Every structure is written in structure tokens, then in C-alpha cells.
Amino acid sequence: MADAKVIPFDDDRSRGGAGGAGGAAQRPARRRGAGSRRHGAGTAAMGDVQPLPGRTSVGDDAPVPRESRAEHDGGAAASGAAPGTESGSGDEAGGLEQRVASGLAFLRRRLTGDYAVDDFGYDEELTDQVLMSLLRPMYEKYFRVEVKGIENIPSEGGALIVANHSGTLPLDGLMMQVAVHDNHPADRHLRLLAADLVFMLPVVNELARKLGHTLACAEDAARLLEQGELVGVMPEGFKGLGKPFADRYKLQRFGRGGFVSTALRARTPIIPCSIVGAEEIYPMIGNARTVARLLGFPYFPLTPTFPWLGPLGAIPLPTKWTIQFGEPIHTESYPPEAAEDPMLMFNLTDQVREQIQHTLYKLLVQRRSVFF
């Protein structure tokens, strides 16, 4: 397979345009709804209309009498064909041909290396057409994610989304990425900051890079924000991801507030995000620390199903999720030297944490059931 083209971050290419041969592919057009097909089908099947008594002809834009439509539809029913069948079949055949052609073109670009990745390894075309399609059934059908406050994410420019972290495995980050990708009106992409362990695991490392994830460090975060990207961070880290089930929805320490310093330097808003539903997918009732040390993991979870049921125990519970994006905390009014003020960073960090915690409690009160 040929090497992909690498497009540096300082390239002034348009994010929304086709960009050229190596640019990211446009998102496929949505299928026409049943209502639009039915309208077109009825027009195609109507045929010639006889002139009304006292009139010599009927113009193309003249209204068709209801009796004529009834007679024609009755004749079509008598012949065993539904009105608009030919047009509807044509639309479906044309849509199938378009999807097949698009898929073949995609395979050709992958095989020839005629696709673009950025300096961090982000592959927008692969993410849009393949990876998001693999995550979407879990997002829509399994966890049935409900998204609130998507309008609080700006349509352009850099922004830092700060969310709680839980669930033993980091599925909450992936679901948050799908939520932004599928619901934001500006079709924005979320670039997640991930721990070192993610980039040490085979296969996972490559997939994370393709999805746009990068190392959770101030340098990478600042560079993405300066380029106008939407960046996601979960400051709790492994402390939140691997906390016992008894401590669910209790936020852990948010580190030293490095994410606040990064947002202040980039002068980008901070958007708190609260995720409900992830805590229960793998109820962690124990931690096999000896096994974790042998494997080099921060923890080794023991749940009611894992490892007792083997591979079946790794299937998450089908909980009902809610992801709410809160009102942004703006940082543009602070002077550049504010990023060096430890008290300001502490206050802003505490403000973000309290807003996420308060929203979690509110969503828990509103929730009817863990699974519904």
C-alpha cells in the first residue's frame, strides 16, 4: 500500500472544501426521505391529463383534478402496480449504484495512498466513512445516547471540552466524539487527548491516531487549539476511569489544572461536559493489583461478569447514556500572563469541576432508570 500524503498543520487549506486530490472526502449526502420519493413518484405516474370540459388544453403547471388522480390510481391498482413504483425503484437503484461507486473509489484511494493525514496521524476520510460507522451502532442502538447542549460548542475556532471520565474502559471518550461528530450543525470533529498507555498498545495505537487522538500533553493541546481545533480532555485520567463502583459519579481530582493554563494561553473557551451512563457499563467491584503490575496496567478490574465469564464478561452492560455540554467559560478577557497565575488556575479548575459535578447530580435525579 502506498504511503499517505501528510498535510502539515500550518497548511492554509480549507477545512470544509474538497481540497484537491488528496483532501478529505466529503461526507456522503443523506438519503432522500420517503415523503420526497412519494411526491416525485406520484407526479411521474400521473401521465397525461385530459382537458376539462370547456377548455382546450391543460398547462404544465395547471392543477390536476382530484377525479383524474383517483381514476389513474385506481387503474394502476387494478393492473397490480402501485403508483410511483417505477420512480421509487429508479431512486433506490440510483442510490445503490452511487454507494457502490463511492465505496470502490474509497478502496482505490486507500490502496494507492491517495488520502491525507495530518501531522498527528488523523485520517478524516477513514474516520468519517469507516470508524464512525463502526461506533455509531453502539452509540445509537446499544447505549441510546441522548445529547444536550450541543449548541454550546462554537461553530468555528478552538475550544476545550472538559468531561468526567468513568467506565473502566474509555468508551465515554469515544461516545463523546461520536456525539459531536453526528450532532453538531457545523460537522465539527473532536480531537481527544489520550494517556500514554493508549499509544503503547498495538492496533489501539494506530486506530487512536486515525481517529484524531493525540498525547495528553500541553504542547499537543496548545498546537491543536491554535489551529482552531475542538479538543477534548478528561482530567481525572485513570483515577476516574478505574475508580470503584461505590464511588460512581463522584469526581476525582482534576490534576494541577494544566488544561486551564492551556486554554488561557490559547484564549479559547472551556466547555464543561457531563456524561451519565458510563459508570454502570462495567461495575468495578474489585482491583487485582498484582495482576495489574504484571501486565503494566494502572488497574485490573474485577466486575460481576469479568473475568468470571471469560470473553462474555467483557461485553458492557446496555445502560442509557446522557451527554450534556454546559455553557462555555470564556477566557478571552484574561491577560496573557494569567496563565502563570496559580490562584486563577485553581479557581477556574474548581469552577469547571463544580459545574460538571452539579450537572451530573441533576442528570441523575432526572434519570428514570439505569437501562431506560
pLDDT digits (tens, 9 = 90+) for 80-127: 444 444 555 667 777 888 889 988 999 999 899 889 999 999 999 999
Containing 168, the helix (H) or strand (E) segment is: none
* pLDDT tens profile 241-289: 999 999 999 999 998 889 999 999 999 999 999 999 999 999 999 999 9
Range scoring the smallest mean pLDDT among 38-47, 242-251, 324-333: 38-47
CB-CB contact of 211 with 126 (8 Å): no
Q: What is the percent of the chain where pLDDT is above 70? A: 76
| Residue 208 CB partners (closer than 8 Å, separation 6+) | 194, 198, 199
Cα 316–Cα 319–Cα 322 angle in degrees, nearest 5 = 125
How does the average pLDDT of the chain come out, rounded?
Answer: 82
| Residue 249 CB partners (closer than 8 Å, separation 6+) | 164, 166, 276, 279, 360, 361, 364
Q: What is the percent of the chain where pLDDT is above 90? A: 69
Q: What is the mean pLDDT of residues 11-30?
A: 41
Q: Residue 51: is its pLDDT beyond 70?
A: no
279/248 Cα distance (integer angstroms) = 6
Q: Residue 76: is its pLDDT beyond 70?
A: no
Q: Which three cell numbers stand for residue 322?
A: 446522557
Q: Residue 14: is its pLDDT beyond 50?
A: no
Q: Residue 180: is its pLDDT beyond 50?
A: yes
**DSSP assignment of 260-277:** HHHHHHHT--EEEEEEES
Integer CA distances (angstroms), 330 to 159, 192, 251, 268, in order: 10, 20, 22, 7
Q: What is the pLDDT of residue 6?
A: 54
* E strands in the chain: 5-7, 116-118, 146-148, 159-163, 190-194, 214-215, 230-233, 270-276, 286-287, 301-302, 322-325
* Closest C-alpha to 182, from 26, 292, 27, 360: 27
Q: Which three cell numbers stand for residue 363?
A: 442528570
Range scoring the smallest mean pLDDT among 9-18, 194-203, 263-272, 323-332: 9-18
